[in-house]
Structures are given as structure tokens and as C-alpha cells.
């Protein structure tokens, strides 16, 4: 089953096996739908995993699948990347890495480059069922677009690298979700995907490889090392 979606401003094509749809994704949607019955607010699920594992694409696919499956409550996919600090702040901030202060822009996408307090407040509003507009990250602009998306559905799937990180302040977010889904993968599978993604965003191959070694690669290893056990565990390839 092959589809194309607009993910963070870029067209992404992906395919999912019919067996995975029947044995993994539809049962997951049914479980979410059943759990949402009688909820006073929205049901919030997390989909967490390393960069390049296809979280955004899978979330978009599950949103589409929920909308065309009889008896299924519609699900809305939301990305965590809209909670990056604005690019102007990333350019100005420093982070403590490897025993010294370094420019945050070198580690963009890492856990330090997100406004966790702002994300926690938005997740609380989601669960309470409050009217809410959600920020998006646009890979063409390399920046955040505030209030880009209206949250409309009673089930939301929030995807992101660090949602199930076992370190603080990220670990405190777990109490703000009703179901945690972990997407795991080997680094060797992710490396070519991430290099290709950076090239799609405008970098040369040499620049994309340097970015992988300095930013994406360390983030992949960090995410896999600190990813909490989840209610649902998925392993790539699906």
C-alpha cells in the first residue's frame, strides 16, 4: 500500500505492507478507538522513536487509515517538531555537550533544541479537550510556523523523537499521554534515510553527511539508548 503525504512541508512517499495494516495498524486503531470511549477530553497517544524511523509518515498514514475504516473514530496526527525553539533562538543559544558549551544550531533536533515547557502545556490542553491550534515545523523554511493547524479530533497521535525519553524533563511528559507507542530501528537502516532527507531539504551530499555525523547520528544513538519501554512496541522494517 503506497501513498504520498506532505510531511513538514515536503512530499514523502512510503509504502506499508498489507500484512502490517491488517495485523498491526488496524488493531492499534481499534484499541485507540475503544480506549477513547467515554473519555471526558481527548485521548492522547505518543509515537516516539529515533530520527528517520518514519514516525511522521506512519502518523499521517494512521490518520488516513482511521478516516476510511468503518466504525473507527478519526485520529489526528500532530508532530512534536513544531515545539523547536524558533530558528533565531537556536542560532543564539548554547548547549552543554561533551563537557563544554557549544552552539545549539550544531545539535538542532536534539533534546536541548525543544521548548519542553511549552510542549507540556499544549499536551495538557489537548487532554482537557480545549480548543487548540498546533505549531508545525516546515523543513523548507527550517523554522517553526505557529498556530498552523487546528486540532479537531477526539483522538490525537503526537509523534516525536524525545516524547518517551527516560531523562528529565522529557520523562515527565509520559503522564500526559494515554498510550505510548515506541518505534525502534537499527542505526544502519536510518543513516541513509537521514542523509537523503537533508539533501531533499537543500543540503549537498557532503553537507548532509557532515550533518549526520555531528547532529542526526548522535541523536539517533541518544534516542535509542534512552527510549522508555512503551505500551506498544514496533520494530522497523514494518
pLDDT value for 40: 82
User: Helices (DSSP H) in 80-174: which residue ranges?
Assistant: 87-92, 116-127
pLDDT value for 201: 79
Q: What is the number of domains present in the chain?
A: 1
pLDDT value for 140: 84
pLDDT value for 182: 97
Chain centroid, CA 185 distance in Å:
14
Chain length of the chain? 238
Look up the CATH number of the domain holding residue 171.
Answer: 3.40.50.300
DSSP, collapsed to helix, strand or coil, labels residue 237 as coil
Grid coordinates in use for 114?
525543544
pLDDT value for 62: 96
pLDDT value for 2: 65
Q: What is the pLDDT of residues 156-182, one digit of tens each?
A: 999 999 999 999 999 999 999 999 999
pLDDT value for 217: 93
Grid coordinates in use for 87?
530558528
pLDDT value for 156: 98
Grid coordinates in use for 132?
487548540
Alpha carbon separation from 237 to 111, 150, 202 (Å, rounded): 25, 32, 27
Point out the residues of the chain with pLDDT beneath 70: 1-11
pLDDT value for 8: 61
* Range of the structural domain that residue 130 is part of: 2-235
pLDDT value for 154: 96
Amino acid at each position: 500500500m503506497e501513498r504520498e503525504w506532505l510531511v513538514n512541508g515536503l512530499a514523502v512517499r512510503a509504502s506499508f505492507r498489507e500484512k502490517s495494516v491488517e495485523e498491526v495498524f488496524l488493531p492499534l486503531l481499534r484499541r485507540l478507538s475503544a480506549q477513547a470511549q467515554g473519555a471526558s477530553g481527548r485521548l492522547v497517544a505518543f509515537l516516539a522513536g529515533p530520527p528517520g524511523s518514519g514516525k511522521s509518515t506512519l502518523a499521517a498514514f494512521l490518520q488516513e487509515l482511521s478516516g476510511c475504516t468503518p466504525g473507527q473514530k478519526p485520529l489526528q496526527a500532530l508532530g512534536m517538531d513544531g515545539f523547536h525553539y524558533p530558528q533565531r533562538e537556536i542560532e543564539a543559544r548554547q548547549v552543554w555537550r561533551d563537557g563544554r558549551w557549544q552552539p545549539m544550531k550544531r545539535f538542532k533536533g536534539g533534546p536541548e533544541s525543544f521548548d519542553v515547557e511549552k510542549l507540556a502545556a499544549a499536551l495538557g490542553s489537548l487532554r482537557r479537550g480545549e480548543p487548540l491550534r498546533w505549531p508545525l515545523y516546515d523543513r523548507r523554511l527550517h523554522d517553526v510556523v505557529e498556530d498552523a493547524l487546528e486540532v479537531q479530533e477526539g483522538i490525537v497521535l503526537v509523534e516525536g523523537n524525545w516524547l518517551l525519553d527516560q531523562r528529565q524533563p522529557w520523562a515527565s511528559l509520559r503522564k500526559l499521554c494515554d498510550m505510548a507507542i515506541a518505534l525502534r530501528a537499527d542505526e544502519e537502516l536510518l543513516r541513509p534515510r537521514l542523509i537523503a532527507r537533508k539533501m531533499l531539504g537543500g543540503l549537498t551530499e557532503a553537507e548532509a553527511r557532515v550533518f549526520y555525523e555531528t547532529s542526526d547520528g548522535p541523536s539517533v544513538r541518544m534516542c535509542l539508548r534512552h527510549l522508555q519501554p512503551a505500551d506498544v512496541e514496533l520494530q522497523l522494517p514494518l
